[in-house]
Structure 1
């Protein structure tokens, strides 16, 4: 006889055994339900189920605005115009053409006995110099030369030459400069400056 042999009838064991099986099934189902609702986190969950998923906020970058390919030009006029409409000389170099004689020339013309009120008769610009032919109210002609670029300050004897011996000639004007070294002549037309040096050489500067 084994240790499980007793005098109780076999049918008497079936009832309690069935109850035990049912209880185990109920307990197993309850544990499975709890695990499913806590996300299988070993009992650390709050039982409220998984929280909402927070997606990172993406900040949309503004599209690049195309920059118009517009050339930029720096203002660089040689001459400007006042509100009164009178052209005035500026200090900046540029490609403008004057409509009045330089104040430098007006001052020297008065010192030479001019009646004043100079007006511009001809202006010529070359790569190396510029020339003004001016006339006062009595018709007297004056030559003003400048060796350099427009916009520079005129300094007589350094980069400027003022002459009073001027006459109309050859479709333009002839200015003569008499010095102790000899005579230099300047023939000025709308398209060139011809310089006859005292040594006999000739230099021609084309207008630009």
Structure 2
């Protein structure tokens, strides 16, 4: 009787140990899978060779997309045109948005037909604020100048004491 009890005790302990180890392995495997899934969820999805989400005709100018890529802006290749304004002085302004609706300001001076050259006659600003219907405000991080655009008017408030520039908007899309 004593031998049988000892034998059954050993069998029970061994079975319990084996089952416990199996459960620990399964738990560890499940935790590892959850961590991998969380890492995949946190990584931006690569579009690979798939077509962009935004139709090419709805994209902002290629120079804007190139500058956005240079600045490391997420979804730089998917910045879509929200509005396009043309002033009486020939300045062209685009309000662009990424897939998350973050707004960008792109301006070009020297007329509609002039090439857009960032840092020469082109200025790309991020973190644009919508201030009303078809109206936006952007601030230059380098000099603090403020740019206001609406269907009727384009205004620049200079921080260096220079008089504000006010142009009439003659075309709006």
When the two structures are aligned, how many residues end up with a matched partner? 111
1: CA distance, partners of 2:70 / 2:130: 23
Give 1:75's aligned residue. Answer: none
Deviation at 1:86, TM superposition (A): 5.6
2: CA distance, partners of 1:114 / 1:192: 30
Give 1:123's aligned residue. Answer: 84
Q: Is the aligned partner of 1:114 residue 2:77?
A: no
Where relative contact order (Cα < 8 A, 6+ residues apart) is larger, the structure is 2
Contact map agreement 2:102 2:127 (CA 8 A) in 1: no
Kindly report which structure 2 residues correspond to 1:41-190, keeping only aligned pairs within 5 A, or say none: 87=57, 100-112=59-71, 113-115=73-75, 116-128=77-89, 129-171=91-133, 172-179=135-142, 182-190=143-151
Contact map agreement 2:92 2:108 (CA 8 A) in 1: yes
**Which of the pair has more CA radius of gyration?**
1
Give 1:193's aligned residue. Answer: 154
When normalised by structure 2's length, the TM-score is: 0.58
1: CA distance, partners of 2:70 / 2:155: 27
Greater shift in the superposed pair: 138-147 or 161-170:
161-170
SS in 2 for 1:156: coil
1: CA distance, partners of 2:148 / 2:155: 5
The unaligned stretches of length 5 or more in structure 2 are 1-54
SS in 1 for 2:99: coil
The unaligned stretches of length 5 or more in structure 1 are 1-84, 88-98
Name the one with the larger helix percent.
2
* Two-structure CA RMSD over aligned residues (Å): 1.9
1: CA distance, partners of 2:112 / 2:136: 21
Contact map agreement 1:125 1:131 (CA 8 A) in 2: yes
2: CA distance, partners of 1:203 / 1:166: 19
When normalised by structure 1's length, the TM-score is: 0.49
Moved over 4 A (4+): none
SS in 1 for 2:65: helix
